[in-house]
Structure 1
Amino acid sequence: MNNPEGDVLVGVGPRLRALRRARNTTLAALAEETGLTASTLSRLENGRLRPTLEQLLPLARAHGVPLDDLVAAPPTGDPRIHLRPVRRSGLVMVPLTRRAGGVQAYKVIYPPAGRASTTKPQTHEGYEWFYVLNGHVRFVLGEQEFRLGVGEAAEFDTRIPHWIGSADSQPAELLVMFGAQGERAHLGSSSH
């Protein structure tokens, strides 16, 4: 017998894990933010616990996504994509992909230089590619520093200490592709 409810809930765990990793948040930090235990969050992400509405509501709020995104609600027939910006640490992130796992795409708007909350390089699992759509970007990777302008791109292993921000008094807009498991975005045409 077909179980549409089970089909909808089967992908919740990977989506929750992908959202948490995209935010570079630990289970402990998310537990504090949502009031759920780290153990419960781990079991939800690993699919060992069937999610309830009481668990999903604080998770949707914490991740800044609608509940429909967590459960991959079936489309309602409206073909338009409703992009929902998420604001974190002075950045505006617009998720461009709606599936969990794999390479994720975002439009990221960095505030003008001087407004950023931190310039401390960070590290995390994954691989990132970005393309500058507007403005200028200051990009620190390891011991090197770069300034990139419109039309320039960079790709890097996110385990290397890195920091990205606007290079001047104007916001910088980037198209970002990120693979939490180290997936790379392969661009270009292939010859057959």
Structure 2
Amino acid sequence: MTHDIGALEGLVRKRVRALRLAHGWSLDELARRATLSASTLSRIENGQRRLALDQLVALARALDTTLDQLVASDVEDVVVSPVVDPHGWRRWPVRAQPGLSIVRQRLTAPPDPARVRAHAGQEWLVVLSGTALLLLGERRYRLEEDQAAEFPTMLPHAIGADRGPVDILAIFDRDARRDHQQAAGD
């Protein structure tokens, strides 16, 4: 058990340093943002000081991450297999920030005008390959590879493939995710 805690502490220290460097911040800059001294931060990163919960909370906030993400143990499942939902869509669930859901989907059928629906929330999508058709209100949008769309989901909408499979990456806010999960359960 002690070895596991030591390994986790080492991982957290590496994450703090890596995130600091990714932001392009010096020790002084992160210390200022986290209301710590630069020497304390240096000792935390170098393993010369024990990790304290209040410092970890301040560091997570300053690094624009969550405490859960900062102290999460090593990644368990790197490879994600697709699942087929009740609509027949292949989905690759991706871990996301709290409140957001990110889903990679392969769509093979055109959008069904009978399945156009509106609900609370916001949705964003990008076409990874192929061509998508987005029905949004009374309009039709053709989205090619690398094109993206963002829209309030209160507009009646449906998405599907245009002449062959299309892979999209969709991001849903909390409200949109809840409605999509309920619809998949129907």
- In the superposition, the TM-score normalised over structure 2's length comes to 0.50
Instruction: Looking at secondary structure, tell me which structure has more helix per residue.
Output: 2
- In the superposition, the TM-score normalised over structure 1's length comes to 0.48
Greater C-alpha Rg: 2
